[in-house]
Amino acid sequence: MTLLKVTLFGFLYFLKLNIFKLPKVRKIDVEKDRIFYARDLFRGFGKGILERTNSKVEVIYEDEEEFKNLSMDEPIVLISNHQSNIDIPTIQGYFPFVPGFMAKKEMETWIFFKTWFPITNSIFIDRKNPREGIKAIRKSVKFIKDGYPMLVFPEGTRSETGEIGEFKNGGFKVAIDSKAKIIPITLKGTYDIQSKKSIRMFKNKNVKMYIGKIVDTKNYDREGLKNIHNVVKEIIVNNYNK
C-alpha cells in the first residue's frame, strides 16, 4: 500500500509539473534563475515521498557555520553514500539546496526524467560507453564551474546490505577537475524504507542526513588528490557509525 501511495504521488507530482510549471520554467529568460527555480520545484517532490512513508528526517551538521558560509557561486559537489531509491528524494526534500544529479542513461527512457534532467542541468551517463561517459563528465564539470552544484554517488549503485561500499575514484573526477568544495553527505535509514533487494516500502522509519565538514580540493596537491576519495569516505563512514 505504501509503494502504491508513493508511486501515485510521484506520477501526479510530475504530471502537475509538466502541466502547470513547465511552461513557466521555459519563460524564465535568465539561465541561472531558470535552472535554480526548476531545481527548487523538486523540494516538494522529495518531502512528499518521505511524508507518504510516515518517516521522520533529521538533518545534522558537523559544522553548520562553515556550511552557511559557502557561496553558491563557487564550485560545489555533494558526495553521498547510496542506500536506496529514497536517497534522492531525501536530499531533494531536506538538503538546504537542491543539486543537479548524475544518473544512469537508462533513466532517460522515463519521459519525466528525459524532460526535467536537461532543465535542471542534470546529467545522464552511459556507463557502457566510455567515450560518452567522458563527454558527460566534462559537461558536469562545466556545470559545476558555472555555479550549479552536482550530487555524486561514488559507490555507483545502491548498497546491497545498507552498509557503505567501495568509493570509486571516477566519482571524484568531477570534483577534482572543477576544483570544487566537496560536501560529504551521510544517509542513514533510507535503506530501512526500501532496500535494493525488494520494491516493498516500509513506514515509520527514522532517517538521518549528516552534512559533514567540507573538503576543499584546492587544499590538496596532486598526490593528496589521489587519496581524496578515502578522505571523504572516512567522514561519511564516521558519521554513519555515530
57-90 pLDDT tens trace: 999 999 999 999 999 999 999 999 999 999 999 9
Contact 53, 10 (CB under 8 A): no
How confident is the model over 171-191, as a mean pLDDT?
97
C-alpha cell at 64: 553548520
DSSP annotation string for 126-169: -TT-HHHHHHHHHHHHHHHHTT--EEE-TTSS--SSSS--PPPG
pTM of the model: 0.96
Judged by DSSP in three states, 191 sits in helix
How confident is the model over 131-139, as a mean pLDDT?
90
Q: How far apart are CA 54 and CA 48, in angstroms?
A: 10
How confident is the model over 170-196, as a mean pLDDT?
96
Of the chain, the percentage scoring pLDDT greater than 70 comes to 100
pLDDT at 224: 96
Confidence of residue 128 (pLDDT cuts 50, 70, 90): confident
Confidence of residue 226 (pLDDT cuts 50, 70, 90): very high
pLDDT at 127: 79
Q: How far apart are CA 182 and CA 176, in angstroms?
A: 9
Whether the per-residue pLDDT at 111 is higher than 90: the answer is no
Confidence of residue 170 (pLDDT cuts 50, 70, 90): confident
